[in-house]
Amino acid sequence: MPSGMRTYGTRRRYVSKDNAIWASLDELPQALHMIDTNVTNNEFNKHTSSFSLEIDKKSSGAKRSEDKSVKSLPKAVDKTDGRHSKSNLHLVPTIVVPSHGRNINETKDNSALNTSTSEPKSTSDTNTRLQENSHKMPTQLAFLLGLVDQEMPVSFKDYIKSFKSPIYKIGEASYSEVFKVEKDEPIVLKIMPFGKKNQIRCSDIINELKITKKLSKLEGYVNLRRAIIVKGTYPSILIEEWDKYDLQKESENERPNRYHSSQLYCILCLNHSGTDLEHVELSNWFEAWLIFNKTMKVLAIGERNFEFEHRDMHWGNILIKRRDDEDLSYLLDEVSFDEFDSSNTSLTVPERSSTADSLDITLIDFTLARMRHTGSSSPIFNEFDDPDLFNGRDDYQFDIYRLMAKVTKGHWDEYFPKTNILWLHYLLHQILYRKTIPKPRDHHEQQLMERLKKLFKLLEPLQRSRRGSCPLQNCAFSSATSLDEWVSQRFDE
């Protein structure tokens, strides 16, 4: 596997195998609107060509030398500097800024990003606002702060101290560390350093937040609870937990104590939303069918509402949550206690006619996604400008990236819902050939297994195509929506 592919393989997740806790994100402020980048590109290029995000300059105005304290970055980050070292900000199609005519902080509907009673307050204004001098703030950082309803970054240490509950590291990814805050309803903190060389780009964070906010209104997509921008060195309590994790599981990231006081981070506060498909054990073919069918329907909903393409729907980005705690509730509706014979010590429990309500699926991680806001002519998309993304081997996932490039012909801003079909074919491949599912126990399960195999053949990207032809050229389905309609008509139960 190429050195730059760690982000996109089986390690592209925010938790370990032993602690499969994932994401659900809540909503962003409503007082946002989109502006055309034709107006802002010049301004962007002016400010971002030297975008170091070191905004703590000496008040005397003396030029400060470049920060030398961070001599090396996490291994995973070092491997993928191609994509994030670029500053082609003209590739970002739209920018989110606070609405004209009023301050975003004055909008009452923005409570989703404000501290709620169920979460600790980040800090008071007096103790948490980092005092900045009169130097102008980099443009993209200002946009990002407006997006999360902040005027300035807050203190990293103070924000972490505001949680009065135990915190543990539970996982990591190429650009982030993930910690769990122990509460009645656990909170997962995904911490991403950004803005410097070999770190995630500010523009990528902006785009992902915009997409997540829109999709959070739809069923089956993650909901953003809170996003916050912090600044400073890594808090000691997180370093201690990082060390414990490293001793137990050997972290592949560098110890985060190397970050300087000028380092900026974006923290996403996430709810528990299940386990990624890779680490879920499927007990029967009913569950296998439900996962595919519900994923297809979620993609179709996104297509119809926002011309959505996930473009990175590997099995680490599909979360599965069983409603085990609710499994007995259906008995109250189906068992008549009026007819219960007290002389009979046995009670016949009706079999559940369907497992359709036993699983929830949630799609996460829209870093590479494409969508268009309703009423807007400017889509939000990723340029796929990392060559390493198309060089992966030994996993069908990497073939999908190359097939997408053929479908789009490099026009990543345009709408190609066939990419969703490609990822659904990948999903079928993983279910049929990478998951260990018990043999069908009855005729119905056998039918479901055969149904999945038939769909796998129908969606084969290069079936009956001549060499060099476009993937899915002869496929009857051009989108998840068209496939959903066909499946509903043919297999409606």
- How confident is the model over 185-198, as pLDDT tens digits? 888 888 999 988 88
- Give the number of other Cβ atoms within 10 Å of residue 83's Cβ: 20
Measured on CA atoms in the order 55, 32, 266, 81, is the torsion positive or negative? Answer: negative
Are residues 255 and 303 part of one domain?
Answer: no
Whether 269 maps to a domain, the answer reads: yes
Whether 373 maps to a domain, the answer reads: no
User: Does residue 399 have a pLDDT over 90?
Assistant: yes
pLDDT in tens, 234-253: 999 999 999 999 999 899 89
Are residues 116 and 188 part of one domain?
Answer: yes
* Concatenated DSSP letters of 265-320: EEEEEEE---EEGGGPPP-SHHHHHHHHHHHHHHHHHHHHHH--B-S---TTSEEE
Are residues 45 and 185 part of one domain?
Answer: yes
pLDDT over 70, % of the chain: 63
User: Does residue 63 have a pLDDT over 70?
Assistant: no
Whether 403 maps to a domain, the answer reads: yes
| Angle, in degrees to the nearest 10, between helices 139-147 and 202-215 | 20
More confident residue, 106 or 121: 121
Are residues 194 and 95 part of one domain?
Answer: yes
Q: What average pLDDT score do residues 130-135 get?
A: 41
What angle is formed at CA 212 by the lines to CA 380 and CA 104, rounded to 5 degrees? Answer: 90
Are residues 254 and 206 part of one domain?
Answer: yes
What does DSSP assign to residue 9?
Answer: S
Which of 153-157, 198-202, 272-276 ranks highest by mean pLDDT? 153-157
Query: What confidence tier does 154 reach under pLDDT thresholds 50, 70, 90?
Result: very high
Whether 381 maps to a domain, the answer reads: no
Q: What is the CATH number of the domain that holds 398?
A: 1.10.510.10
Helix H or strand E encompassing 483: helix 480-491
Whether 399 maps to a domain, the answer reads: yes
Contact partners, residue 246, CB within 8 Å, separation at least 6: 255
What does DSSP assign to residue 97?
Answer: E
Residue 467, pLDDT score: 53
User: Does residue 42 have a pLDDT over 90?
Assistant: no
User: Does residue 72 have a pLDDT over 70?
Assistant: no
What rounded mean pLDDT belongs to the chain? 73
Are residues 234 and 287 part of one domain?
Answer: no
Query: What confidence tier does 84 reach under pLDDT thresholds 50, 70, 90?
Result: very low
Annotate the chain with three-state secondary structure.
CCHHHHHHCCCCCCCCCCCCCCCCCCCCCCCEEEEEHHHHHHHHHHHHCCCCCCCCCCCCCCCCCCCCCCCCCCHHHHCCHHHHCCCCHHHCCEEEEECCCCCHHHCHHHHHHCCCCCCCCCCCHHHHECCCCCCCCCHHHHHHHHHCCCCCCEEHHHHHHCCCCCEEEEEEECCEEEEEECCCCCEEEEEEEECCCCCECHHHHHHHHHHHHHHCCCCCECCCCEEEEEECCCCHHHHHHHHHHHHHHCCCCCCHHHCCCCCEEEEEEEECCCEEHHHCCCCCHHHHHHHHHHHHHHHHHHHHHHCCECCCCCCCCEEEEECHHHCCHHHHHHCCHHHCCCCCCCCCCCCCCCCCCCEEEEECCCCCCEEECCCCCCEECCCCCCHHHHCCCCCHHHHHHHHHHHHHCCCCCCCCCHHHHHHHHHHHHHHHHCCCCCCCCCHHHHHHHHHHHHHHHHCCCCCCCCCCCCCCCCCCCCCHHHHHHHHHHHHCC
Q: What average pLDDT score do residues 208-218 get?
A: 89
Which position among 26, 158, 204, 312 bears the catalytic label? 312
Are residues 93 and 181 part of one domain?
Answer: yes
pTM score of the predicted model: 0.67
Residue 101, pLDDT score: 34
Q: What average pLDDT score do residues 309-334 get?
A: 73
Whether 330 maps to a domain, the answer reads: no
Q: Beta-strand (E) ranges in 425-474?
A: none
Residue 466, pLDDT score: 52
Q: What average pLDDT score do residues 357-365 get?
A: 88
More confident residue, 424 or 49: 424
Are residues 315 and 200 part of one domain?
Answer: no
For residues 476 and 458, the answer to whether their CB atoms sit within 8 Å is: yes
Rounded Cα distance between 24 and 329, Å, is 25
> Where in the sequence is the domain holding 421, given as residue range(s)?
278-324+351-363+386-491
pLDDT in tens, 12-34: 433 333 333 333 333 333 333 33
Are residues 211 and 111 part of one domain?
Answer: yes
Using alpha carbons, list the distances in angstroms from residue 21 to 214, 270, 281.
Answer: 23, 10, 15
Whether 41 maps to a domain, the answer reads: yes
Half-sphere exposure of 117 (CA within 13 A, CB side): 0
Contact partners, residue 309, CB within 8 Å, separation at least 6: 303, 369, 370, 371, 415, 416, 417, 419, 420
318-322, 352-356, 435-439: which has the minimum mean pLDDT?
A: 352-356
Q: How many angstroms from the chain centroid is the CA of residue 153?
A: 23
Query: What confidence tier does 276 reach under pLDDT thresholds 50, 70, 90?
Result: confident
For residues 222 and 376, the answer to whether their CB atoms sit within 8 Å is: no
Residue 306, pLDDT score: 97
Helix H or strand E encompassing 179: strand 176-181
Q: Single out the residue in 242, 273, 304 at which a domain terminates.
A: 273
Are residues 139 and 286 part of one domain?
Answer: no
Contact partners, residue 444, CB within 8 Å, separation at least 6: 286
More confident residue, 8 or 452: 452
Which of 51-55, 135-139, 260-264, 353-357 ranks highest by mean pLDDT? 260-264
Residue type, 458: L
Whether 312 maps to a domain, the answer reads: yes
312 catalytic, yes or no? yes
| Tokens linked to 17 | 């195998």
Bridging pattern class, strands 359-363 and 154-155: unpaired
Query: What confidence tier does 217 reach under pLDDT thresholds 50, 70, 90?
Result: confident
pLDDT in tens, 409-463: 999 999 999 999 999 999 999 999 999 999 999 999 999 999 999 999 999 997 6
For residues 370 and 215, the answer to whether their CB atoms sit within 8 Å is: no
Helix H or strand E encompassing 420: helix 418-433
Are residues 172 and 286 part of one domain?
Answer: no
Q: What is the CATH number of the domain that holds 175?
A: 3.30.200.20
pLDDT over 90, % of the chain: 44
pLDDT in tens, 295-305: 999 999 999 99
Task: Give the number of domains in the chain.
Answer: 2
Residue 367, pLDDT score: 86
Residue 137, pLDDT score: 64
Residue 38, pLDDT score: 42
Are residues 307 and 260 part of one domain?
Answer: no
Q: Single out the residue in 230, 245, 273 at which a domain terminates.
A: 273
Residue 46, pLDDT score: 44
